Amino acid sequence: MSDPVAEPGIPTSSTNVPAANEKSVAAEAKKRVPNRLLALAATPDSILLRLNKVLAAPGGLPAFLSTFNYTLYLLAYLETKSAGLRARLFQLLSQVTSTPALATATTAAVQPSPIMNLALMVGSARTTLRLFGLIPMYAGLRQLLNGPKPGQDQVLYANSVTQILMYMTFQFLENVALLTDNKILPARYTAKYTAASGGKTAKIYLWAYRAWLGGILCDFVRLGREAQLERTRRSQKGASSSSTDVSVKSDEQKDQEWWAQAVVPLSWVPMATHVSLQSGIPGFNVGVMGLSGLSAGLGKIADLWAKTAE
């Protein structure tokens, strides 16, 4: 086998050139630049690599998009509230009269916000991705229909079946509305439900969101039943034997997990209730929606992020 040919412009080993580790610019820079700055420069790379792991994890992409989406909604709301402050700062820095400043504030309020446009785009992408959400739900329902697992509480089993049926109803109706709006599903299929609103699918979405709210409420039934069973278990354990440090620590961990799970439906309820009512909740705005969705999904995305740590 012949020796590799040296590439043009690259000195061969026979030339008298100092080694890279002796006189290279990178080596000299590494000696002079503080370690803190080097670590800071490497931060974006490590963040992107961890983010890639989050997106590749099961459920990672929907969780990330949800958190990102509701963060944008919250930022868009805060941006509208800061219009007056930005107008005042503009007036102060440019040293102009108040009239142009008021015009600037008005223009900022009328013009569409890029943050809001991005939030709507991400929200539309999430709705499109949910077109395929019925497939895993169907698989989960098939598994549940095999019957409760040995030793499984009957109340929890019935609640699981009810919840997945609620979510399947939500997903089916949302899919119908989305396909109708995009003129993929013929309008005559939904004409009975859209005629009263001039062909709009608002009524279909309304019942879809009501099914979504029903699925969320099932989480409260589950959490309440689990708390009841856990109290019974602890009372029986306390009557039979003395509690050890290990069991106390285990109980505390279960309590923390229970409260972490309770945050999710508690956060979703305001938004789900708002979209389930014909006229919505008075005073509900994009900021409340963003805060609600962000609070609901932050725990999951934080857990996924923690699992990507090396």
Spatial distance between the Cα atoms of 118 and 133, rounded to a whole number of angstroms? 23
Spatial distance between the Cα atoms of 71 and 295, rounded to a whole number of angstroms? 10
Spatial distance between the Cα atoms of 197 and 308, rounded to a whole number of angstroms? 48
Within-domain flag for 133: no
State the average pLDDT over residues 108-114: 61
Confidence of residue 49 (pLDDT cuts 50, 70, 90): confident
- pLDDT tens-digit map of 163-207: 999 999 999 999 999 999 999 999 899 998 888 888 889 999 999
**Contact indicator for 173, 183 with CB cutoff of 8 Å:** no
Within-domain flag for 275: no
Rounded to two decimals, the pTM is 0.76
Confidence of residue 106 (pLDDT cuts 50, 70, 90): very low
pLDDT at 113 over 90: no
State the average pLDDT over residues 288-303: 93
Average pLDDT along the chain: 81
Within-domain flag for 67: yes
Take residue 288 and report the two structure tokens written for it. Answer: 């409340």
Confidence of residue 280 (pLDDT cuts 50, 70, 90): very high
User: In which domain, by residue range, is 74 found?
Assistant: 56-128+284-310
Within-domain flag for 24: no
Confidence of residue 213 (pLDDT cuts 50, 70, 90): very high
pLDDT attached to residue 44: 72
**Contact indicator for 73, 286 with CB cutoff of 8 Å:** yes
Within-domain flag for 292: yes
**Contact indicator for 268, 296 with CB cutoff of 8 Å:** yes
Within-domain flag for 73: yes
**Contact indicator for 73, 119 with CB cutoff of 8 Å:** yes
pLDDT at 37 over 60: no
pLDDT attached to residue 17: 44
Within-domain flag for 80: yes
pLDDT attached to residue 272: 96
Q: In 3D, which of 89, 82, 72 has the Cα closest to residue 108?
A: 82
Q: In 3D, which of 166, 160, 194, 198 has the Cα closest to residue 180?
A: 194
Within-domain flag for 38: no
Q: What is the 3 state secondary structure string of the chain?
A: CCCCCCCCCCCCCCCCCCCHHHHCHHHHHHHHCCHHHHHHHHHHHHHHHHHHHHHHCCCHHHHHHHHHHHHHHHHHHHHHHCHHHHHHHHHHHHCCCHHHHHHHHHHHHHCCCHHHHHHHHHHHHHHHHHHHCHHHHHHHHHHHCCCCCCCCCHHHHHHHHHHHHHHHHHHHHHHHHHHHHCCCCCHHHCHHHHHHHCCCCHHHHHHHHHHHHHHHHHHHHHHHHHHHHHHHHHHHHHHHCCCCHHHHHHHHHHHHHHHHHHHHHHHHHHHHHHHHCCCCCCCCCHHHHHHHHHHHHHHHHHHHHHHCCC
pLDDT at 32 over 60: no
pLDDT attached to residue 67: 94
Confidence of residue 267 (pLDDT cuts 50, 70, 90): very high
State the average pLDDT over residues 204-230: 96
Angle between helix axes 286-307 and 60-81 (nearest 10 degrees) is 140
Lowest mean pLDDT among 90-94, 222-226, 271-275: 90-94
The total of structural domains in the chain comes to: 1
